[in-house]
Amino acid sequence: MTFQEYLDYFEQILASPEEYDPYGDEEYLNYTKLNWSRMNRWLKRFEPSDAMKNLIASMTEPQHWIVITEPWCGDAAHSVAQLYQIVKNNPNIDFEIQLRDKDPFLIEDYLTNGSKSIPKLIIRNDVGHDKVIWGPRPQKLQDLFIQMKEEGRSFEEIKELTQKWYNEDKGIELQKELLAQLS
């Protein structure tokens, strides 16, 4: 789906959660509402760096950026909006959203340590060859996430610290990693 179709899908879930699994579950729904707010905040406030803007503007070959995600994903609430903001002005970049939990299950080809962690970005050239695979979160946060899990921290504490990290980082690490992989 396009990014706008993803936003529409997200809104449909919020309007009629009982019609979409797993959003009938109050915990999933509440977290998804938070994600909607977070994503919209980034859509309003996130500005790519000059280096990122220049690199994206220099891309003249057609590219296909596929993001595998779901509205319930806390990491996606930050990264997907930032990724969209990074590429939205380059007509050579086709930005597509695929849902992790719906056919064609593209996530099966892009597991993270054997798990279906999202969001996952796949950048392909115009003949379908993968150029870059990124995700599910910036490496500095991934390392912190693994450390917190190994320490036995609660899921609630991990979620809280993860959100704090994203708010303090403001998309800087995501852009550094993409700049390094795309340069």
The model's pLDDT over 47-75, given as tens digits with 9 standing for 90+, comes to 999 999 999 999 999 999 999 999 999 99
- Give the pLDDT confidence score for residue 39 in this predicted structure: 97
Q: Is the dihedral of CA 32, 36, 105, 129 positive or negative?
A: negative
- Give the pLDDT confidence score for residue 126 in this predicted structure: 86
- Give the pLDDT confidence score for residue 162 in this predicted structure: 96
Contact 72, 22 (CB under 8 A): yes
97: β partners: 67
- Give the pLDDT confidence score for residue 127 in this predicted structure: 85
Q: Is the dihedral of CA 35, 47, 143, 131 positive or negative?
A: positive
The model scores a pTM over 0.85: yes
Domains in the chain (CATH in brackets) are 3-137 (3.40.30.10)
- Give the pLDDT confidence score for residue 128 in this predicted structure: 83
Do the strands 93-99 and 63-69 form a parallel or antiparallel pair, or are they unpaired? parallel
Low-confidence spans in the chain with pLDDT less than 70: none
- Give the pLDDT confidence score for residue 183 in this predicted structure: 87
Taking the C-alpha atoms of residue 135 and residue 143, their distance in angstroms, rounded to an integer, is 12
Q: How far is CA 81 from CA 91, 113, 127, 149, 152, in A?
A: 18, 25, 26, 26, 30
